[in-house]
Chain A
Amino acid sequence: MAATQASKEQKYDRQLRLWGDHGQESLENAHVCLINATATGTEILKNLVLPGIGAFTIVDGHTVSGEDVGNNFFLSNNSIGKNRAQAATELLQELNSDVSGNFVEESPDKLLDNDPEFFHRFTIVIGVHLPESTCLRLGSVLWSASVPFLVCRTYGLIGYMRLAVQEHTVIESHPDNALEDLRLDQPFSELKKHIQSYDLDKMDKKDHSHTPWVIIVAKYLEKWLSEHNCQPPKNYKEKEAFRQIIREGLLKNENGFPEDEENFEEAIKNVNTALNPTKIHSALEDLFNSEQCNNITSQTPTFWVMLRAVKEFVHSEGNGSLPVRGTIPDMIADSQKFINLQNVYREKALQDAAAVSKHVERLLQSVAKPPESICEKDIKLLCKNASFLRVVRCRSLAEEYSVESVNKDEITSSMDSPDSEMVFYLMLRAVDRFYQQHSRYPGVYNYQVEDDISKLKLCVNSLLQEYSLNVNIKDDYIHEFCRYGAAEPHTVAAFLGGCAAQEAIKIVSHQFVPFSNTFIYNAMSQTSATLNL
């Protein structure tokens, strides 16, 4: 209905400006599964329900305790004794009527026993406060089914997240500081022709002062190249000399002093970046050389077919370069000069995208798929973002936990600084070991704290021994983790809730780049780290 669409546009306006209507659509088509409606879990869901996730399902076999209500905004004291999945679903659903909330009053272990394929229907599964064994079992099921798995926990003042996804492609990474794609080092023929249409020496003052800096740099570069054996300015000295030549191009007034021409100042300022060679950075080269790109089948996802098409473009029409991006930054110029210059880049971008489309068509044909399988819009989007494509690959939980493939290097080198966030990862592994042995976490009751320190230390040592990790964990951290008593203070849960929800949105929307693969937050020092385990 038009009315609901308009009110949704209003309601979601502030976030639509970040991920666009297509990003919102992917959110609204997603179904998230949350396991365990602890404070961390409900905070994550809150930050998914508010922006309008399509549906959520909470899986939780626990009943609500007094302790649960104390730190959880989505449980009330009259739900004590009720199933936690149901109680939390009510108050989360109430946040946004666009969202469809469901619950399953079952432990994940039971579901894994009886119906593991239950989890296949979800766009992403978020597991909160899962015991190690459950986590690994579920991890294995989701990995085989290619369902992204986000593991989260709040333990005392420590937040932990682990992303397990085999391959996650990102076309729209929205980089913060992207270099422009101006091709001044290798101007394409239409750009060359356009530059040639300018004669700086014959222009009147008005035109001279309103010529885009790109033209100015291009003109002086042409001259430089002809005088320097086709070698562009390379080092600081040469670039300074180049800037000076441009400066000399300023018009002089009747007294012989240079006029104030802002466009020339812009040109001088931009010399450094304008002279950056157009090249394909190594990360993209790696993608071009990867298995998925080179082995196109009828099963190959759209991303890789398009990437292969771009690669073929690079090796043919592109002459070693990517399709032109087609955007230019704003610069001092009169409207017409700017628009004309912008159109040169825009038209070239369209041309290049069309060439890439032809390659896409051919590739699809070669695997007997109809050309409509990949639409024009998606190809254009990929071409525009060609320099910023990212692929995130995480190791599986099984790989992380296996003695054969544990990432020893990452752990030992981080622990060269014994207070690095890596120590909290090791402590979390140790408390999981404690739980396996004692069916409880250390220090939950005051009277346990003292004795559990030595018990936990044994777990730490057995952990380090099992994985042959030659690191030292200070006793202070063992004491601190007993002190925590597996507490889940709301503010730490809320911090992690924000972090995890946005990572889930990245996975669902394929916009912005997810972390890989472990994130640790330390609320004591307000610091964090991303580890690769």
Chain B
Amino acid sequence: MADADEPEKKRSRVVELTEKMVVDGGNAGTCEWAGRWNHIKKFLERSGPFTHPDFEPSTESLQFILETCKILVIGAGGLGCELLKDLALSGIHNIHVVDMDTIDVSNLNRQFLFRPKDVGRPKANVAADFINIRVPGCSVVPHFKKIQDFDETFYRQFHIIVCGLDSVVARRWMNGMLLSLLVYEDGVLDPGSIIPLIDGGTEGFKGNARVILPGMTACIDCTLELYPPQINFPMCTIASMPRLPEHCIEYVRMLLWPKETPFGDGVALDGDDPKHIQWVYQKSLERAAEFNITGVTYRLTQGVVKRIIPAVASTNAVIAAACATEVFKIASSAYIPLNNYMVFNDVDGLYTYTFEAERKENCSACSQVPLDLHFAPSSKLQELLHYLTESTSLQMKSPAITATVEGKNKTLYLQSVASIEQRTRPNLSKTLKELGLTHGQELAVADVTTPQTLLFRLCFTS
């Protein structure tokens, strides 16, 4: 377990103070003071007409939130920094944060836990340090790791998980992980095995926040169509018919760089290396000049190469706050949580739209029934692979397909290991019948978009 290596940060004991106690000036260094939790206590200790039906006002709820409640924050970037602050100031003092990135200067316009001197250091560590100092008594445990470095034993320890990720693949993985933790007894879901997933995303002035109760409400994959796949420019446009400055830049990135290897053989284009970007920029200008295309700038070049998404502090503040409000509602049972998706846009005035995303009956992640794949026995394996990657409901990245053929487990195709890829590549041009597959048989598919293998049922069409 990766977690065992990280020492738990020491926490000072929480001292419960009553409302009217007066504290003299010399209490620097302690982590409690009079009135600290006044703003929150009103929601925990008082009944009200809009509270959750299960809510019971009590002075113990604050204790639970401060001492027992354990929350995992995924990502310590634009959303993550805001989330850590919001949770800490809502009384949540047992937080873990996972982030595999280090700090870049372009983060500083919104990731406010970082300073110029922190550039290059791991985000999780710097964020945790900052919060632990600024919010006395709060314990943020950092993990400079990928989410995939942890298994169920790590994730199972949290009451709620909040994501501030910048990738759909990572979201789907997290989604799959929490689904794998669900326990069913005689076909009935054990509610104790549900870990709520609060997910936030932002892009420029747009954002969304959603509450997912795995096994009960719509999951990430149920609404995969809300994340349409990124559109790339057609190759023929890039190779021979550029019209936009972006086409010129993609030409240099995809065709010229591999050909000219300007920084050495096998040296990949690094979007964070200004020398690389400068080279791409110059070559893009040349390409553009050839075709009388204007508009290639250094900023555009960098934006295209790194697929940069514009970002500001304000949108991240809004979405993280909405997510943190939901964490608090669920942790305290004070209010009915968001059901279940809020969209935000402040380009023209301020616009929010809240709706209930519905579960998909045949969701590849959460529906529990093996998905049917309909193909003729004369279809080639390549077509099946194409379906897995291109269909909007699956959008797999590099699926590995295995099946049980004549009693033996057979890898039909696997892309991520070069030797196996080479060995199984001929299978792509074989028909499903030739590969020995039968009607109704199960295919197991593994992919980066899910921590668990998905089962499909092959249905032959005539």
Where the two chains meet, the residues of A that have a C-beta atom closer than 8 Å to any C-beta of B are 7, 10-18, 39, 43, 46-47, 50-52, 65-67, 69-73, 76-78, 80-81, 95, 156-157, 173-176, 210, 330-331, 333-336, 338-339, 342, 443, 445-446, 449, 475-476, 479-480, 483-485, 487-492, 494-495, 497-499, 501-503, 505, 512-516, 519, 521, 523-528, 530
Interface residue? B188 (CB, 8 A): no
Known: A176-B347, A335-B243. A50 touches B112 (CB 8 A): yes
What are 28 A-to-B residue pairs whose CB atoms are below 8 Å?
A7-B105, A11-B105, A15-B109, A18-B312, A50-B109, A50-B110, A67-B35, A70-B37, A70-B38, A73-B135, A77-B30, A335-B242, A336-B291, A475-B49, A480-B50, A483-B46, A489-B43, A491-B86, A491-B328, A494-B86, A494-B324, A498-B313, A499-B314, A499-B346, A503-B346, A513-B347, A526-B354, A528-B352
Residues of B close to A43: CB separation below 8 A? 317
B105–A524 CB distance below 8 A: no
**Assembly CA distance A331 to B110 (angstroms):** 36
Known: A73-B89, A338-B243, A526-B322. A51 touches B49 (CB 8 A): no
- The A-B contact count (CB < 8 A) is 240
New A-B pairs, 5, CB < 8 Å, besides A80-B25, A498-B315: A17-B308, A70-B35, A476-B50, A490-B85, A498-B313
**Interface readout for B341-367 with A: 1 if CB under 8 Å, 0 if not?**
010011111101010000000000000
**Assembly CA distance A484 to B42 (angstroms):** 6
A512–B243 CB distance below 8 A: no
User: What band does the interface of chain B fall in when counting residues whose beta carbon is under 8 Å from A?
Assistant: 35 or more
Interface residue? B369 (CB, 8 A): no
Residues of B close to A443: CB separation below 8 A? 42
Contact of A16 among B30, B299, B345, B346 (CB under 8 A): B299
In angstroms, how far is the closest chain B Cβ from the Cβ of A231? Answer: 33
A67–B36 CB distance below 8 A: yes
Known: A10-B106, A14-B310. A330 touches B244 (CB 8 A): yes
Instruction: Please report whether the interface of chain B is mostly helix, strand, loop or mixed according to DSSP.
Output: loop
**Interface readout for B107-131 with A: 1 if CB under 8 Å, 0 if not?**
0111010000000000000000000
B317–A489 CB distance below 8 A: no
Those 6 A-B pairs whose CB atoms lie nearest each other, nearest first: A498-B317, A66-B35, A498-B318, A495-B321, A67-B35, A494-B321
B243–A333 CB distance below 8 A: yes
**Assembly CA distance A65 to B28 (angstroms):** 14
Known: A14-B110, A498-B321, A512-B205. A175 touches B349 (CB 8 A): no
Contact of B291 among A157, A335, A515 (CB under 8 A): A335
A523–B325 CB distance below 8 A: yes
B45–A176 CB distance below 8 A: no
B310–A495 CB distance below 8 A: no
In angstroms, how far is the closest chain B Cβ from the Cβ of A222? Answer: 24
**Assembly CA distance A361 to B320 (angstroms):** 50
In angstroms, how far is the closest chain A Cβ from the Cβ of B341? Answer: 9
B85–A73 CB distance below 8 A: yes
Residues of B close to A490: CB separation below 8 A? 39, 85-86, 89-90
**Assembly CA distance A80 to B27 (angstroms):** 10
Interface residues of B in 26-69 (CB under 8 A from A): 27-28, 30, 33-40, 42-43, 45-50
**Assembly CA distance A333 to B241 (angstroms):** 7
Contact of B317 among A12, A17, A497 (CB under 8 A): A497
Known: A80-B25, A173-B348, A176-B347. A498 touches B314 (CB 8 A): yes
Contact of A488 among B36, B39, B318 (CB under 8 A): B39
A502–B33 CB distance below 8 A: no
A67–B38 CB distance below 8 A: yes
A487–B49 CB distance below 8 A: no
Residues of A close to B135: CB separation below 8 A? 73
Which of A336, A485, A491 has the most chain B CB within a 10 Å cutoff? A491
B317–A491 CB distance below 8 A: no
